[in-house]
Every structure is written in structure tokens, then in C-alpha cells.
Amino acid sequence: MWHELALIVANIAGIELKYVPYKGGKPATLAGLQGETDIAGGGVHEHIDLVRAGELRNICQTSAEDIKLENGAVMPSIATVLPESRKILPVGATYNFMVRRDIPADVMQALADGFKAAASSDGFMAMLKSKHFQSDIKIGEAADREGALMESITVDIFNRFSDQIGAKVKTAEELGLPKPEDFDAWWPPQGYKPPPIKG
């Protein structure tokens, strides 16, 4: 995920980066902290305490808005630095709860209602706020659309940088996906049936 986001940022900025693989955001953050790398990629939740302590300086993050910390420090959105990135923001890791489409509609609705209640609970929202996670709960067709858009962006960026992926990359056409700039005209795809979920 973090390599993909770095590719997206580098593509928008028109720069080249040398990527050093680590087994996750925390080891990559530690590498940046120890001076093994010049830039450390990872989640805001992995960097936030180090930024608060003044041990790391945030260059940008990929939410749509700047993040203002309690001590007055600002973690700028990439849109502040590169306004042309705004059309794809927010972009980053998402947490998903998925079920098979052939489960009964009443069971799917009950699960969706339970998911929304849990993800909107006071305790969960307090945890999100403490780590500057964003809450953007989507269910049903809205979730399908968001997932398809992220797939479209991933396929596009992986094809632009296929020499860095280390494996054969399928094209958007092979996967039946549009280019990101054509996504709004493409959605919903032919034959799409939204899940039977309300609210």
C-alpha cells in the first residue's frame, strides 16, 4: 500500500524515487528515524506520535485536508502541496467488512446495520480521532463504487510503473476497468447489480 501511495505521489509530483522495501510501515518508519532512508512511507497512525515528539517531519499525507495537531504542528495534505492531486483524494488504506453477495438480503442488511453502528460508536470514533484516522463509512453501491475506483487507480499506477512491480501487471482493459479519468462515465459498469442494502 505504501509503495503504491509513494508511486502515486511521485507520479503527480513528476519526481523519481528509489524504493527500499521493508516489511510494513512500522519497519519503514524506524528506517527513516534511524537515517537508513531519506523518506519513510507509512500510515499517519504509524508516524503521528513521532511527529508530535518532533522526531519526524511530515512532508505530506494523502487525506483531502491538512491535519492540525494539538501542539500546532500541521501535517499537510498532498493537495496543499500538489493541488492536482485533489481529484483522487483521500487515497490510502481502507478497512473493509465483506460478505458474499448471495447471502439472504435480510442477513446482509442486519450485518450492514451492525457494521455502521459499530463504526459510528463513541469508542471507535475516539480511537479514530486519537490516531487521525478518517471515518468515511460506505455500504452497498457506494462501497462498491469506491472499491472499483481504488482498483482503477491501482491498475493505472501499476501499469505506469510496471518495471518496479516485479511481476506481470494486467491492464485496465484486461480487468474490465476504466482509466481513472474515465471512471465517472463508466460507473456503474454494464450488468452491475447493487447489493440489497438500504441506508
* Region of residue 62 (phi > 0: left; psi between -120 and 50: alpha; otherwise: beta): alpha
Q: At residue 167, does pLDDT exceed 90?
A: no
| Nearest to 139, CA basis, from 183, 184, 186, 98 | 98
79 with 127, same domain: the answer is no
Q: Are residues 58 and 124 in the same domain?
A: no
pLDDT over 80 at 166, yes or no: no
Q: 184 or 19: whose pLDDT is higher?
A: 184
CA angle 4, 6, 12 (to 5 degrees): 105
Task: State the Cα angle at 164 between 133 and 93, rounded to 5°.
Answer: 15
**Are residues 23 and 41 located together in one domain of the fold?**
yes
- Residue that finishes a domain, picked among 91, 123, 141: 91
Q: Say yes or no: 45 and 122 in one domain.
A: no
Q: Outline where DSSP puts E strands in the chain.
A: 67-68, 74-75
Q: In the prediction, which pLDDT does 21 show?
A: 86
Same domain, residue pair 60 and 137: no
Contacts of 184 (CB under 8 A, 6+ apart): none
DSSP 164: G
pLDDT recorded at residue 89:
83
Residue after which a domain boundary falls, among 91, 114, 137: 91
pLDDT digits (tens, 9 = 90+) for 100-136: 999 999 999 999 999 999 999 999 999 988 877 888 8
pLDDT at 77: 93
**139-154 pLDDT per residue, tens:** 999 999 989 998 998 9
Residue 24 backbone class (left: φ over 0; alpha: ψ -120 to 50; beta: rest): left
Gap between the Cα atoms of 102 and 121, Å rounded: 28
How does residue 90 score in pLDDT terms, banded at 50, 70 and 90?
confident
Query: Considering 56, 91, 126, which residue would you say is the last residue of a domain?
Result: 91
- pTM for the model stands at 0.77
Q: With the CA atoms of 38, 44, 47 and 48 taken in that order, what torsion angle do they form, in degrees rounded to the nearest 10?
A: 140
Give the structural domain span for 26. Answer: 1-91
88 vs 14, which has greater pLDDT? 14
- How far apart are alpha carbons 27 and 113 in whole angstroms? 37
State the cell numbers at 121.
460508536
pLDDT at 199 over 80: no
